[in-house]
């Protein structure tokens, strides 16, 4: 039985409130175990022999409903699966969908190198972090084991990203595994026809493997067979069809698999699911149309319930929607996205530059920062800790106060006399009601800026530098 409340977890803990885990009580630590913000190993007492039985029981009872597997090794290794809920608002989705973009063994070497570098180096800055992609899928098109091994070797020399080795021919898969057997690649795929030979590869090389069947009963049978053989790191591919009735059936299969794993606790089929939006290219010959439908499929199965995908298009109009939607779906709905509080420089501020205040809600902060930097406004930008709440809501709720604004500058070590010639701060227009309180608390001159940071350039022209009192 999966544990889903702190009280259930607490019964298995030492219950001595030693605080060695960093929490004041075992109950608080239990809550962190439920939301996975801490690990069981963070509790030193439970690792002692006297609690070993409880530790082993709790380890099993806290395991995710969907098996979590690791592909690759090192800092770029990726976890997939690991979900406990069907709907994001129930808790959160934990391991973001892994995006693998393909290369193939008949590519000229210079094109192969260029494409792999493009995949590896893709980065999009968004709300304080870089969005990237995760893997390279090497497809065997030639049918030649030696040629495939050469392509795998070249790719592994270029990138540290995890690899997916794609072929239905066990001999081809083996040739690729020999090259990267120490890098824990994912092999694709075992089917009703080749499962015996592919299972031997998975056992011998100790790598995760994809099971493919369009029939869910046969897919379950494959999973049960592999599990009985001791192969537990499995990924399920029920087939991805890009249009019409078959697309509807694909969508239904994904839902059935995930419901079986979580709602019905069918452990025999509780594994990560693979989608292959790349299949759109087999149907649509026009590159733009194929790329469009590939992105549609990627979006659909990011939401429901694709844990890993193989894609093709590297065009920005395809990749950007894919990574942005994934970031949205896998943002924890319980926690606002925040930036570190403090005072940051935008451009190259001088003593005559303004000091502008905002909150540490990431979307607010980076919107303001972008409006300032794009208009080449050199200034200091203060992010006040409001628990990740925006300006208007934090003023109304009491998270943005004069005391917090004062405290923010003090903790940042920001000396107005040393840093500025004007002893002035600029509050956002939506925080105008705090003007008097901030002046009293800080002793500074307070100006009220526009309610929308996009209007700051016009406001600056009329109001900056501040006129002498």
Confidence of residue 337 (pLDDT cuts 50, 70, 90): confident
Whether residues 275 and 367 share a domain: the answer is no
Lowest mean pLDDT among 13-17, 65-69, 138-142, 335-339: 335-339
Lowest mean pLDDT among 38-52, 230-244, 340-354, 419-433: 38-52
Whether residues 280 and 152 share a domain: the answer is yes
What pLDDT is recorded for position 60? 87
CA Rg value for the chain:
27
Whether residues 50 and 79 share a domain: the answer is no
Residue 238 lies in a domain: yes
CATH number, residue 22: 1.10.15.40
Residue 216 lies in a domain: yes
Calpha distance 146→108 (Å, rounded): 15
Closest CA to 218 of 259, 275, 268: 268
Work out the average pLDDT over 342-369. 96
Work out the average pLDDT over 40-57. 91
Q: How far apart are the first and last CA of the chain?
A: 70
**Residue after which a domain boundary falls, among 329, 355, 379:** 329
What pLDDT is recorded for position 381? 98
pLDDT at 89 over 90: no
Whether residues 431 and 292 share a domain: the answer is no
What pLDDT is recorded for position 63? 87
Confidence of residue 91 (pLDDT cuts 50, 70, 90): confident
Sheet of 342-346, strands arranged across: 342-346, 379-384, 355-359, 424-427, 445-448
Residue 237 lies in a domain: yes
Supply the DSSP symbol for 218: H
Confidence of residue 330 (pLDDT cuts 50, 70, 90): very high
Q: Per the structure block, which two tokens stand in for 411? A: 């903790």
Work out the average pLDDT over 202-210. 98
What pLDDT is recorded for position 332? 85
Residue 101 pairs in a beta bridge with 136, 311
Whether residues 320 and 369 share a domain: the answer is no
Residue 336 lies in a domain: no
406: CB partners within 8 A, 6+ apart: 438, 441, 442
The length of the chain, given as a count of residues: 469
Question: Per-residue pLDDT tens for 424-433?
Answer: 999 999 999 9
What pLDDT is recorded for position 2? 74
Whether residues 73 and 158 share a domain: the answer is yes
Phi and psi angles of residue 101, each rounded to the nearest 5 degrees, phi first:
-110, 145
Whether residues 242 and 366 share a domain: the answer is no
CATH number, residue 161: 3.20.20.20
Residue 194 lies in a domain: yes
Query: How many distinct structural domains can be found in the chain?
Result: 3
Whether residues 142 and 279 share a domain: the answer is yes
Work out the average pLDDT over 209-227. 97
Enclosing domain of residue 421: 342-463
Work out the average pLDDT over 265-287. 95
CATH number, residue 413: 3.40.50.11600
Supply the DSSP symbol for 253: H
Phi and psi angles of residue 396, each rounded to the nearest 5 degrees, phi first:
-65, -35
Helices 170-180 & 145-158, crossing angle to 10 degrees? 30
Residue 179 lies in a domain: yes
Whether residues 316 and 373 share a domain: the answer is no
**Residue after which a domain boundary falls, among 298, 329, 360:** 329
Residue 469 lies in a domain: no
Whether residues 221 and 166 share a domain: the answer is yes
What pLDDT is recorded for position 324? 96
Work out the average pLDDT over 373-379. 96
pLDDT at 401 over 70: yes
Whether residues 412 and 273 share a domain: the answer is no
**Residue after which a domain boundary falls, among 329, 353, 368:** 329
pLDDT at 239 over 90: yes
What pLDDT is recorded for position 1? 56
Q: What percent of the chain has pLDDT over 70?
A: 100
Work out the average pLDDT over 222-249. 96
Q: Per the structure block, which two tokens stand in for 358? A: 């905002």
Average pLDDT for the chain: 95
Is omega for the bond preceding 403 within 30 degrees of 0, making it cis? no
The most confident of 82-86, 203-207, 261-265, by mean pLDDT:
203-207
pLDDT at 469 over 80: no
Confidence of residue 126 (pLDDT cuts 50, 70, 90): confident
Residue 1 lies in a domain: no
Q: What angle do CA 276, 168, 77 make, to 5 degrees?
A: 55
CB-based contact 36:91 (threshold 8 Å)? no
What pLDDT is recorded for position 173? 98
Whether residues 31 and 90 share a domain: the answer is no
């Amino acid at each position: 039985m999966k544990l889903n409340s702190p009280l259930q977890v607490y019964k298995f803990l030492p219950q001595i409130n030693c605080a060695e885990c960093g929490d004041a009580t075992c109950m608080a630590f239990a809550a962190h175990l439920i939301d996975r913000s801490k690990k069981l190993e963070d509790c030193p007492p439970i690792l002692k022999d006297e609690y070993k039985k409880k530790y082993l029981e709790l380890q099993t009872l806290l395991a995710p409903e969907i098996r979590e597997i690791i592909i690759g090794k090192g800092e770029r290794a990726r976890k997939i699966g690991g979900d406990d809920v069907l709907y994001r608002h129930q808790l959160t989705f934990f391991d973001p969908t892994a995006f693998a973009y393909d290369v193939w063994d008949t590519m000229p070497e210079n094109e192969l190198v260029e494409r792999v570098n493009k995949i590896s180096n893709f980065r999009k800055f968004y709300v304080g972090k870089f969005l990237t992609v995760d893997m390279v899928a090497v497809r065997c098109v030639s049918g030649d084991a030696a040629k495939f091994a050469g392509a795998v070797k070249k790719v592994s020399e270029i990138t540290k990203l995890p690899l997916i080795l794609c072929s239905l021919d066990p001999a081809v898969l083996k040739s690729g595994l020999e090259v990267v057997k120490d890098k824990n690649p994912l092999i694709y795929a075992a089917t009703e026809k080749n499962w015996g030979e592919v299972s031997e590869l998975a056992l011998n090389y100790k790598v995760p493997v994809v099971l493919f069947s369009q029939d869910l009963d046969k897919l379950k049978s494959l999973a049960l067979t592999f599990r009985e053989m001791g192969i537990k790191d499995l990924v399920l591919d029920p087939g991805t069809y890009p249009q019409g009735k078959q697309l509807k059936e694909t969508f239904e299969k994904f839902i059935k698999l995930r419901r079986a794993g979580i709602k019905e606790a069918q452990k025999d089929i509780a594994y990560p699911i693979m989608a292959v939006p790349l299949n759109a290219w087999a149907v649509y010959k026009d590159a733009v149309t194929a790329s469009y439908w590939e992105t549609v499929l990627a979006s659909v199965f990011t939401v429901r319930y694709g844990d890993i995908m193989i894609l093709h298009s590297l065009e920005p109009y395809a990749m950007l929607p894919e990574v942005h939607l994934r970031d949205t779906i896998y943002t924890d709905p319980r926690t606002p996205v925040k930036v570190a509080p403090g005072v940051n420089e935008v451009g190259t501020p001088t003593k005559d530059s303004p000091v502008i205040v905002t909150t540490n809600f990431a979307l607010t902060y980076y919107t303001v920062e972008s409006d300032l930097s794009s208009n080449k406004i050199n200034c200091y930008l203060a992010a006040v800790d409001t628990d990740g709440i925006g300006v208007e809501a934090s003023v109304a709720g009491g998270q943005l106060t004069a005391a917090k604004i004062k405290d923010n500058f003090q903790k940042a070590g920001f000396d107005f006399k040393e840093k500025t010639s004007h002893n002035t701060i600029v509050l956002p227009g939506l925080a105008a009601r705090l003007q008097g309180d901030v002046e009293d608390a800080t002793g500074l001159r307070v100006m009220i800026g526009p309610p929308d940071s996009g209007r700051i350039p016009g406001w600056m022209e009329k109001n900056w530098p501040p006129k002498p009192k």
